[in-house]
Chain A
Amino acid sequence: MERFVYLELSNLLAMCYEWGEQDVCAILAERKVVGLSKGALSGGVALGMSQSQAMSQLHHLEFYPRDVKKEAKIASTVADALDSVSPYFRYLDTTSAYLPYRAVMRYFKEPVTLIRSIREALSQLDISEGRRLDDDDILIGIADGFVAAKAASLQNLVIPQDANQRFLESLPITVLGGDVVVETLIRLGIGTVGDFIHMNLADISTRFGVRGIELLEMARGSRANPPGCTPPSKGVKVSFTAESPLVGYDQVVFSQIPKLADEVEKLRNAGLIATSLEISISASRSDSRRSWSLFSGFDERSIADRIIWQLQGMEEHFEGPSGWDGVNSWQVEFLDVVGDAGIQMDLFGSAKAPPGMTIRAAMKAETILGVNSVCVPYVEGARSSIDTVGFSCWQELLQGSSSRSKNNRGGSGFRGGPVDQRAGNPPWPGSIPNPPPARVFRDRPIVKVTSLTGEVVRVNRRGGMVLSPSVVEFPWGKRVTEDFLGPWLVHQRWWDDDQEQRFARLLVLLGDGTAHILLTHEGLWYLEASYD
């Protein structure tokens, strides 16, 4: 499993304000405390508290809004410092970043050396107006898998590889996420990751569906988050070049949203979504290159936001608009893309609907009918019309573990898996030519095919028909034949005594205008399929 270095700069946002030692102030975003003055911290208020919780701790606490421009400048300063340690840091937001350990292990050899370098780079940094980060505010964790690394950072731990699973099992289950499934598990008494991994896979699949299996994989350590990042086959890049340096950029970035949306849509159509990207910006007096990650997947707006954040950081470095000459060009490159399992179009084609609504409905249906009962059809080559359609369990497709042929499924939607290239256009001699019949009968009802004289029509071993079919007697009544095509002999799996099949097919057009495929085997006639 991938080993990660996770870095959290606790209370970094407090540096946006010039608070004194005695001030009791907090920064509030979406009714949660995201930054605190020293006075507020010593008064018992903690980051992440709700507004009411914070007020109950310190009733005279003053609240401030986030200062986006100052945050961008601070983030830019921090990113520059981290770039001096390694250029491979990926930023989740202003205060947190991670680094794939393999990217730096050759250079730093020991984790301790890497941690020391990061701390030195950050502690010497003049964040804002002479303010510096306390060593206690720099939280670094190293472990296998993103979840474990993030949890390790809370205690500044380096988890050895052989102890990683034990460490993960000891963690509260909330480290896997804060969604409905985790809340339900807590209500059911599953408190730790260790409790969860001992649950039965089938029970988890039935009760919690795909999300449950995903969580179990994370808990068992068989899946890191971000999961198996795959680079796109061709580097997807979106670039913009201004004719002359642009000082005001917000409007221009947003005007590029359709271009970004096209690329996001292309990935989505291929069943993929970008989780990491690199934004390179060239300004008149400086350049900036930074990698960003968003594990829920980037859309065009979240990409535009990050371009603006990066531009704001650059602009602020020039001490306001007067020193800022403007931006010449930028480029967005998608670094990692993963299967788009959970995000999908809504019922009527908009991507704004609550994701997972369709998946939840399918899960509910599967709970009613049983595991593996709900499936996604796909077309494959076969001689028998009943075998031309295969069925893959929709959850299996979501996990991408099915190895069955899927290239006729369309590729997007419930997620594509490995594709059997051989099945592209197989010849399948003896199969029914197009158009495919509309109905295929699994239980193949017996029919009677007779000639004008009422004798049963037979096909001999050489494929010849002694009499012409005139009447077909179906379970629902007799029909006169107007025309027919065939018979065609089919002999398949002759190498396998148990599965060998030898039969003949006949296409009949009836007086009522309908068309049917009949099959004869050992003197009996069956209804194989009907056109519609």
Chain B
Amino acid sequence: MKTYSGPTAAVCKGVEDASGSKTLPTCERLQGALKNLSISRGSTVVVHALPATGSYTFLSLLLAEPSSKGIYSAVVGLDDYNFSLAAHLGVDLSKVITVDPKLKFSERELARAAFALLDGFGIVVISGRIASLNSPRFSAKARQKGATLVVIENSSSPKEISYRIKADLRLFVSRSPWTLSGSVSSGILAEGEIAVQAVERMEHHPGRRAS
């Protein structure tokens, strides 16, 4: 899969080596999309996407490199996330835990569990609905523990994109339309491109788009 970036922002000033302790390592395929941008540990990243427009593909790519570097991730509240896509895109699933999707829990219970997981996991991925229960507390704990909190905020239409969750970095993910591939042997669908547009949190101008 090719990735390209839209207007991106150098969110982390003085970006360090990805293997250093201040930023999350990212795979080559994501580095193209996240040019000049790195995701700091302890930050809250909100991934905005409309359904079926690349948020889970982006998430899989985001988890791939950290898992290969021995960083453990937890995915909570994304019952429809297909981990076989994650494995297909290079995520070492032995470094990932989740809550059994066959069991039903209230969002409040899942939020408590995710809050506990921030104590020991490098990346904690939660849904926007869980994060919205107490987003300042989640962000504060992620910052304190040095864990990266990734919030997948799905909206059914562009008008419904919500900014209720405070974020250090907002990523708007979109992808090129799917097309059928020529032959089934090479995969039934042709791999498209993912575009990531980043908006940083500004101290005095929240939500301002970076250029």
- Please report A residues at the B interface, Cβ cutoff 8 Å: 344-345, 347-350, 357-362, 364-365, 368-370, 372-379, 385, 388-389, 391, 394, 406, 408-414, 416, 432-442, 476, 483, 485, 507, 509, 512-516, 529-532
Q: How far is the CA of A532 from the CA of B56 in the complex (A)?
A: 6
Contact A358–B53 (Cβ < 8 Å): no
Chain B, range 58-110, C-beta contacts under 8 Å to A = 60, 67, 69-72, 74, 79-88, 92-103, 105, 109-110
Chain B residue numbers with a CB within 8 Å of A364 are 116-117, 119
Q: How far is the CA of A358 from the CA of B100 in the complex (A)?
A: 18
Chain B residue numbers with a CB within 8 Å of A513 are 53, 175-178
Across the A-B interface, the 7 shortest Cβ-Cβ residue pairs? A361-B120, A513-B177, A413-B94, A345-B70, A438-B56, A410-B92, A347-B122
Q: Which of B41, B71, B88, B105 contacts A436 (CB 8 A)?
A: B88
Q: A438 and B93 in contact (CB under 8 A), knowing A361-B119, A509-B178?
A: no
Asked if B191 CB lies within 8 Å of chain A CBs, one says: yes
Q: Which of B93, B120, B147, B188 contacts A377 (CB 8 A)?
A: B93
Q: How far is the CA of A101 from the CA of B89 in the complex (A)?
A: 50
Can you sample 11 A-B contacts with CB below 8 Å?
A348-B122, A373-B99, A375-B98, A375-B99, A388-B84, A408-B87, A413-B92, A439-B80, A514-B53, A515-B178, A516-B52
Contact B97–A514 (Cβ < 8 Å): no
Chain A residue numbers with a CB within 8 Å of B156 are 476
Chain A: CB-nearest residue to B60? A438
Chain A: CB-nearest residue to B185? A433
In angstroms, how far is the closest chain B Cβ from the Cβ of A14? 43
Chain B window 28-61, contacts with chain A (Cβ cutoff 8 Å), 1 for yes, 0 for no: 0000000000000100000000011111110010
Q: How far is the CA of A438 from the CA of B79 in the complex (A)?
A: 11
Contact A509–B80 (Cβ < 8 Å): no
Q: How far is the CA of A86 from the CA of B144 in the complex (A)?
A: 54
Contact A441–B96 (Cβ < 8 Å): no
Asked if B133 CB lies within 8 Å of chain A CBs, one says: no
Q: How far is the CA of A364 from the CA of B60 in the complex (A)?
A: 25
Q: Which of B80, B85, B120 contacts A357 (CB 8 A)?
A: B120
Asked if B146 CB lies within 8 Å of chain A CBs, one says: yes
Q: Which of A348, A370, A376 contacts B41 (CB 8 A)?
A: A348
Contact A410–B93 (Cβ < 8 Å): yes
In angstroms, how far is the closest chain B Cβ from the Cβ of A384? 12
Chain B: CB-nearest residue to A411? B94
Asked if B19 CB lies within 8 Å of chain A CBs, one says: yes
Chain B residue numbers with a CB within 8 Å of A433 are 184, 187-188
Q: A438 and B85 in contact (CB under 8 A), knowing A347-B121, A532-B53?
A: yes
Contact B70–A344 (Cβ < 8 Å): yes
Q: Which of A347, A441, A485 neighbours the largest number of chain B CB atoms within 10 Å of its CB?
A: A347
Chain A: CB-nearest residue to B92? A410
Contact B69–A349 (Cβ < 8 Å): yes
Asked if B113 CB lies within 8 Å of chain A CBs, one says: yes
Chain B residue numbers with a CB within 8 Å of A347 are 41, 71-72, 120-122, 146-147
Chain A residue numbers with a CB within 8 Å of B71 are 345, 347-349
